[in-house]
Amino acid sequence: MDDEAMRELLRTSKTIAVVGMSDKPDRDSNEVGRFLMEKGYRVVPVNPAVSEVYGQRSYPSLKEIPSDVKVDIVDVFRKSEAVPGIVEEALSRSPPPKAVWLQLGVRDDPSGPKVEARGVGFVQDLCIMVRHRQLFRA
- Give CA–CA dist 110/45, Å, rounded: 25
Q: How much is the pLDDT for 9?
A: 98
For the segment 8-43, what is each residue's pLDDT rounded down to a tens digit? 999 999 999 999 999 999 999 999 999 999 999 999
- Give CA–CA dist 37/67, Å, rounded: 21
135 contact partners, CB below 8 Å, separation of at least 6: 3, 6, 7, 10
Domains of the chain, by residue range, sit at 3-136
% of the chain exceeding 70 in pLDDT: 99
Q: How much is the pLDDT for 80?
A: 97
Q: Which of 53, 134, 98, 62 is nearest to 43 (CA)?
A: 53
User: Does the 3-136 domain belong in CATH 3.40.50.2300?
Assistant: no
Helix, strand, coil distribution of the chain in percent, nearest 5: 40, 20, 45
Mean pLDDT of the region 106-133: 97
Q: How much is the pLDDT for 125?
A: 97
Q: What does pTM read for this prediction?
A: 0.96
- Give CA–CA dist 26/7, Å, rounded: 28
CA angle 79, 64, 99 (to 5 degrees): 55
pLDDT band of 106, cuts 50, 70, 90: very high
